[in-house]
Structure formats: C-alpha cells, structure tokens
A and B are shown apart, each in its own frame.
Chain A
Amino acid sequence: MSTNKISTQKVNFKVFRFNADVDYLPYYENYTMDVTSEEVVLDVLNRIKWDHDGSFSYRRSCRHGICGACAIKVNGRSTLACKESMTTMVEYFGNEITLEPLSTKRAVKDMIIDKGDFWEKHAAATPYLVADIDECPSCENLVSPHDAEELDEADLCIQCGACHYACPVVEINSDFFGPAAFAAAYRFESDVRDNDKQRLIDVNEEKQGVWDCVKCFECAEVCPKDINPIDKITKLHQMAFKRGVAKNNVATRHAVGFLHSIKKHGMLDEGGLVLYSEGAHIVKHIPVALQMFRKGKIVMPWNMPKSDNLDEIQKLIKSSSTVKF
C-alpha cells in the first residue's frame, strides 16, 4: 500500500476447531474482530488465543517466514500466517475469512496437524547431499555461480507443507511423494557435487513418482517462497530422460509420443498417441472410444489433419531436438 495511514475494518472469522482428545467431529467457531491494515494472519491467530480462547492452538515460531511452522489455509488457500497480510486476504476474499489447518483430515488440535506423512515422503526423497567429499579438505569445495544457478532457488524451501497439502494427488494417492519432496529431490539432483544414483530412480517410480503429477499448478500458486515446485517436477522429468533413468512405460511413452505425432502431422494424433503410450493395453479404452466414435469424436488415421508447412516443423524437430529416448 502506498499510504502509511493505518486503516481498520471489521472481519468475520470462521475458525476450524478440533481437539482429537475430546472431540469426535470438528466444528467452526465465529469471531468478529477489527483488523488493522498492519496485521498479518498470525496476529489474528494470536488475538484469538489471547483475547477469546486460551485453548486455541496453532504452531508458530520465527515470525519471519523462515521456519515454516505457521502454514495454514485461509479460505482454502495455503499460506504462511506470519507472512500473509490481512489486507491482501480481505482484498482477495472480502470480509468473510475462514481459517483452517493445512489438512482438515490430519488435524490434531485446531490449526495443528500431524505432518508425519510430509516428513516421511520428504525423507524418502533423499533430501541431502550424497558426495565423496574429503572430511579434512585442504581447500573449499567450490561451486561456481553458474553451477549454483542450476539449483534454481529449490534450496529456499522451508518445508512448510503448503504445497504438499494443496496437491490434489497427495490427497488421492497416499504413496505420491508430493511437490515439496520433489523440489527437495531436484535441489540435490541439480547439485554438481552430488553423486547419488538412487534418488532420481526413486522419484521416477510409478507408485510414488513425478509421473503422477496432474499439472494443476496448485503448488506453484501457493508456495510462499516462490520455489515453483512444478517447474522442478518438470525438470526431474527431463533429467530422467537425459540421464537414461526413464523407464519405458506408459507415462514416458506418453511424453515421447507427442514428438512422434508432431513429427508426422504437426498436430497431435490423439488416437495415435494413446496407441503409442498404451501399446496392447489400448483395448481398455475401446468402450469409451466406441461411444466417442458414435458421436463423431474420433478422426480416423487416414483423415488425420496435418499442419500447413509441415516441412518446417520437421526441419525444426531435426535441428532443435536436445533429447533422445
């Protein structure tokens, strides 16, 4: 805000309450407070505890956006309570504000959740440097600025969990590592000193790996440190191909299939892509394909439209390709 004048407005807070020790079900408590333009969400949490109900519980520590303890959801948006200005929240959502823990399913007491799944997956991504570095080196292990840039700010992650609990896949596939663990994996995979062989294989496993990412960009949107986890996930995909770790499976063929199709038609051949990706497993798509065919939604191979100036596209594929699979 350009003005220094402190303004005040009335805000209605609907606050998630739950105590696993005594409650069967969560409930919401309403508080109406005058909020000043100077306050952040954490100030509101503090005031609920200090002025209204001393039993109200939440995590807080550094108050400087470094420790990652105070991440909660405001009107469904994950955020760091100590960093998020109330003025911005009111601009975003108006005067009816709902405060909830990052995951209501994992609530232990009010805003406090059991973050065990997050830490388990984070640990599984080998989030540390694996390197043969002399314990008593005679000089520093220097990393050039150019090499350090490869980390692409992935080292700024504070493990707040905002992206993890905003990720729709984490919610559905309990094995999925989640965006924060992938960002951590990228941070060390992109470190020139690291020589771990297993990490990239682990994050490419079908059960838990990057290929289940739905590309919704929820993680990029919520990250309070602007780490852009989905960008790191994309880079892990690319690394898997470049370092020969990518397995020949439906997910990798699906990515490579685009190239084949574009080379042939300029456009994507939808049916051809499914066939290329699935191989013999294409039979499982036949019922839906038949329904689509009846409605005029399937173009036969001999009628596949092609882009004009296809020769240009083919020439560019030849000269600009940087990966082989």
Chain B
Amino acid sequence: MKKLKYALFTGCTAKQSTPEQMMSTMAVARKLDIELIELTEASCCGASHLQDYDDFLSLVLNARNIAYAEKHGLTMVTICNTCQLNTAMTKHRLDKNPELKARVNEKLSEVGLEYKGTSNVIHFLYAIIDDFGLDKIREMVVKPLSQFNIAPFYGCHNIRPSELHDESHKQKENPYNPTSLDDLIIACGGKNVDYEEKNKCCGFHVELQAPHTAAVLTGNAIAGATDNNADMMVTPCPLCHLKLDTQTKSASEAIGREVSLPVLHMQQMIGLALGCSAAELGLKHHVTEVNFI
C-alpha cells in the first residue's frame, strides 16, 4: 500500500486543553506510518458558535483552512468532531453553490488564496477505517485490550447529519446504530459495550449557557456506559472528551448519582493496543485518572 499522507487540521483543543490528543495522534501516525502535514496556518473553525453570529465570515475562514490543504494537494484530516462538521459543512455548501463559492473566493483572493473544492475532509477515525483498514490494525496489535469492556462514545458531529458525512466516507455510518468505533475497539482486541447513549449528545456546546442541560447529558452518558459494565469509554472527539473527563462532578450532581469512568481518546486506545507507552499517549493529562495502565 502507498504510504498515506494527509493535511492535519489539529483544531484548537489539541493545542490547549487536550494536549494528550495531539501527542497520541502523532504517536499513532508514527506507528501506522501515516504522514501528517500540520496546517499551522489554520484558524479556529468557529465551533458552530461563530456560525451563529456571522455565517459568511465563518465560511470564509473555513474555506481558507481547506485552501491550505488543497495547496498541499492532500485530503484534510480532522481530529475533532466539531472541526469535522464545520469544515465539511463549508465544503458541502461551497461545492453545491457556485455563487456562494465565488463570493467566498472573492474574499480569499485578497490574501492570495482560492478555494477549489479539490480536497476531501475526513475525520481521522474514518481515515483509519476507509484508507488504512481495520484488518491491518488488527495485524499490528501487540497488546490487545482484551481485558476491557470499552464503551464507544461517538459524538454528534461525526455521525449527524448523516447526509453530510456520507459525502466524505466510503463506508456509510448509520447514525442510529453507528459501528465504526465499535469495530475499532474490536480491532484493538477490546470488548465493545452497547448502550443507549453511545450516539447521543454530551452537552458540550451549552456548557456555559445551559449548564444543567449539559451536565445531565454528560451524566447520562457516563451512567449508561457504567450500567453496561464498561471499564472505560473511548471517543473520537476532544470536546466530548473534555466533558466526560473533566466535568464528572457537575454531571454527578445533576443526575444525583456518582459517575466517573476513565475516557480515552480514540488515538490513545489505538496507541495502547499498538504498544505505545503511557507517556507517549499523554495519559497523565487526564483529570479522571486512567488507572488501569
């Protein structure tokens, strides 16, 4: 197989509140011999909040990010569900609407850039599934996670709206019964846990403006995983991770029950199975301690 090479859009959390996500992404890429060219010019995607304020500006900024991936002639890989949604949504809207694309390009031309629509935008999870292949992961596992029940937490913005995501994926995901993360857990030797909240919302986006709603959603998710005998959770989204890892106190208070589970980033889970060390994967950066390593 030809060596896989992508333009990496890290997003903002990987550089700030989830350093372990950046570390484990690079560690896993090294193990899998995937080359990631970091888009250091990229701006924040707006996280679906700038979109509430100024839609056109958010389109221009996201188109600029994609334009840099296009300059490299590479598919853009995201490591955050919300980055994935906002970037792919921008691509979708510009590719479908030549008039809007022209208006955006008129602005981009002021800084010597152009959005062409030539680069696909996919989340790292689906790059691994669609391009690298789970069979190959399975062959490379040296330390299977066979002693663990692992609850997948998909995160909304990777699975909904399915119409958008189907455009960039080779293997379609059923948003009501997603399987990609379950398959990845199994490929890493773990036992996947089925529970009602696996495709539900973590509440991250309203943490400031509706803290009770956000806390109940987080609490329900951890409780659902716990009640189905999960030893840990795993998620492809750093925002879900922040919520599930750092907000257990408010979540427990909101649902009137003590809940807490170690939560791995998808990259950390793969890294563990491939034999990366805890230090390489940044496990010490978790607020809810990963106590089984």
Q: Is the CB of B176 within 8 A of A292?
A: no
Interface residues of B in 140-165 (CB under 8 A from A): 156-157, 160-162
Chain A contacts to B: CB under 8 angstroms = 75-77, 92-93, 168-169, 172-173, 206, 211-218, 220-221, 228, 234, 237-238, 241, 249-251, 254-259, 261-262, 266-268, 270, 274, 277-278, 287-288, 291-292, 295-299, 305, 307-309, 312-313, 315-317, 319-323, 325
Q: Is the CB of A316 within 8 A of B157?
A: no
Answer yes or no: B257 CB below 8 A from chain A CBs: no
Q: Is the CB of B213 within 8 A of A212?
A: yes
How many A-B contacts at CB < 8 Å in the complex? 200
Q: Is the CB of B49 within 8 A of A168?
A: no
Measured CA separation A277–B212 after assembly (Å) = 17
Identify A322's interface contact among B13, B17, B54, CB under 8 A: B54
Given contacts A211-B210, A258-B53, A266-B43, contact A217 B160 (CB under 8 A): yes
Identify A216's interface contact among B42, B61, B160, B287, CB under 8 A: B160
Tell me which residues across on chain B come within 8 A of A317, comparing CB atoms.
Answer: 57, 61
The 4 closest A-B pairs by CB, nearest first: A217-B160, A237-B52, A216-B201, A251-B209
How many residues in B have their beta carbons less than 8 Å from beta carbons of A?
64
Say how far A184's CB is from chain B's closest CB, in angstroms. Answer: 19
Measured CA separation A271–B227 after assembly (Å) = 34
Say how far B174's CB is from chain A's closest CB, in angstroms. Answer: 6
Measured CA separation A212–B18 after assembly (Å) = 25
Identify B52's interface contact among A92, A255, A307, CB under 8 A: A255
Say how far B12's CB is from chain A's closest CB, in angstroms. Answer: 4
Answer yes or no: B253 CB below 8 A from chain A CBs: no
Tell me which residues across on chain B come within 8 A of A77, comparing CB atoms.
Answer: 176
Chain B contacts to A: CB under 8 angstroms = 12-13, 15-19, 40-44, 46-57, 60-61, 64, 107-108, 110-111, 113, 156-157, 160-162, 174-177, 196, 200-201, 203-206, 208-210, 212-214, 216-217, 246-247, 249-250, 284-287
Q: What are 15 of the A-B contact pairs (CB < 8 Å)?
A: A93-B176, A214-B205, A220-B160, A228-B161, A238-B55, A241-B53, A258-B47, A262-B50, A266-B44, A291-B246, A297-B18, A305-B15, A315-B110, A323-B57, A325-B53
Tell me which residues across on chain A come within 8 A of B201, comparing CB atoms.
Answer: 168, 214-216, 218
Q: List 9 additional contacts besides A221-B175, A296-B285, A297-B19; criterion CB under 8 Å.
A: A213-B205, A217-B161, A218-B156, A238-B53, A261-B44, A309-B111, A313-B43, A321-B57, A322-B55
Say how far B68's CB is from chain A's closest CB, in angstroms. Answer: 9
Most chain A beta-carbon contacts within 10 A, residue among B12, B157, B246: B12
